[in-house]
Amino acid sequence: MMTPSFTTFLAAFLVASAAVINAVPLAKPVSEYSYNPTITSPQADDVWTAGMNQTVTWETGTLPAAVRNYKGKLVLGHPSDVSENLDIDHPLATGFKYRDGKVTFTLPKNVTNRNDYKVYLFGNSGNGSPEFSIVGGTDPSLFDDI
C-alpha cells in the first residue's frame, strides 16, 4: 500500500479549506466597510479664491457605523482624459473624521487658476466633487494658457 505524498495531502487540505472558507458568511455586508459619500460642497461652478479658507461638506446620513471613526484625506485634482491629476503629496486636509461631514482648511496661494478642479475625499473610499474654479493663484504657470 502506498502512502500519500505531501503534495497530495496539501492539495486535499487546500480543497477542504476552500470549501469551509466559502461556507462562512461575512460578519457584516461589504457595504458596511465601504463608504462613498456624496460631496455637497463645492458645487458645480463654485469659485474659490486661493489663500482663503474653504469648507468641503459631504453627506453623512447613510454613514455606516463601521466607518464613523475613519480618518479622511482631502486632495485637489483636475481630471483629464488620462488621469485625475491628484495632488496626493499636498493634501488640503487630513485627519478629520468622516462622521464630521465637513472640513475647513486654507487653500494654498500657489495654485494655478483653473475652472476644472475637483476635490477628492479619501479614507475608506475615494470620490470627487463636481468641477469648480480657483482664482487668485500665484503659480507662475497660470499665464501659460493665455
SS3 state at 65: helix
Helix, strand and coil content of the chain, in percent to the nearest 5, comes to 20, 30, 50
Q: Say how many Å lie between the first and final Cα of the chain, rounded.
A: 86
- pLDDT by residue (tens digit) across 111-120? 999 999 999 9
Q: What is the DSSP letter of 99?
A: G
pLDDT score recorded for residue 5: 59
- pLDDT by residue (tens digit) across 72-101? 999 999 999 999 999 999 999 999 998 999
Q: Confirm if 111 and 50 have CB atoms less than 8 A apart.
A: yes
Q: Is this structure's pTM higher than 0.85?
A: no
SS3 state at 42: coil
Domain boundaries, the chain: 33-143
pLDDT score recorded for residue 44: 95
Kind of pairing between the strands at 93-97 and 71-77: antiparallel
For residue 112 the three cell numbers come to 494655478
pLDDT score recorded for residue 2: 52
Q: Which CATH architecture has domain 33-143?
A: Sandwich (2.60)
Residue count of the chain: 146
Average pLDDT estimate for 65-77: 90
